[in-house]
Amino acid sequence: MLKKNLVKAFSEQVNAEYYSAYLYLVMSAYADRAGFKGAANWLFVQVQEETAHGTHMYRHILERGADPAFADIKTPPSNFRGIKDIFDKVLEHERLVTERINNLASLALRENDHASYNFIMWYVNEQTEEEAGVGDILAKIALADKNPGLLFTLDAELGNRTFVDPFPRTQAD
Ligand code: OFO
């Protein structure tokens, strides 16, 4: 059984994951309307990933015999200044999420809940990968400063990203 403070912390993180999905949906719409269809695709895959992260965590709460707490999902900002600004904000957001995930891991350890700690470790690793991936995109955007043509190459590359469900469920689940 999940302790009360962990139910609260996990539920808040479910909300934060769905907020991330909503934020990336807003960003995807912006990129699409700005003609960066590849970036729009990359961000839309991010929407699906964040939704999967939130849903997986919600299932963890249920599987541990607790009731998830639900709350409003706040409205994300939509005032972006171009594609670099978008990815700067993605990185900034992911760093905040990393902090939240680390706090959640520390709480699980403090509560001696090793099942939750083990569960949250997947998210710890995922955050490392996400921050690194966005850092690579920003490095390429910086290169495009001197050679704007590179932005089109990058956009085409971002257009190739596909969603792979990190937690596929079988009928037996
Ligand atoms: Fe949920 O993976 Fe980043 O935010």
Q: Which pairs with CB-CB distance under 8 Å and at least 24 residues apart come from 115-119?
A: 115/64, 116/2, 116/6, 116/10, 116/60, 116/64, 119/60
Domain total in the chain = 1
Report the alpha-carbon distance of residue 141 to residue 156 in Å, rounded.
13
Q: Which amino acid is at 165?
A: D
Would you write out the chain's pLDDT as a tens digit for each of its 173 residues? Answer: 899 999 999 999 999 999 999 999 999 999 999 999 999 999 999 999 999 999 999 999 999 999 999 999 999 999 999 999 999 999 999 999 999 999 999 999 999 999 999 999 999 999 999 999 999 999 999 999 899 899 999 999 999 999 999 999 866 66
For residue 73, what is the domain's CATH number? Answer: 1.20.1260.10
Please tell me if the CB atom of residue 126 comes closer than 6 angstroms to any atom of ligand 1.
yes
Q: How many angstroms is it from 167 CA to the middle of ligand 1?
A: 14
Per the structure, the complete domain to which residue 22 belongs is given by 4-158
Distance (Å, whole) CA 141 – CA 127 = 21
Q: 170: which 2 tokens?
A: 């079988």
Cβ of 113 below 6 Å from ligand 1: no
Query: 30 in a domain, yes or no?
Result: yes
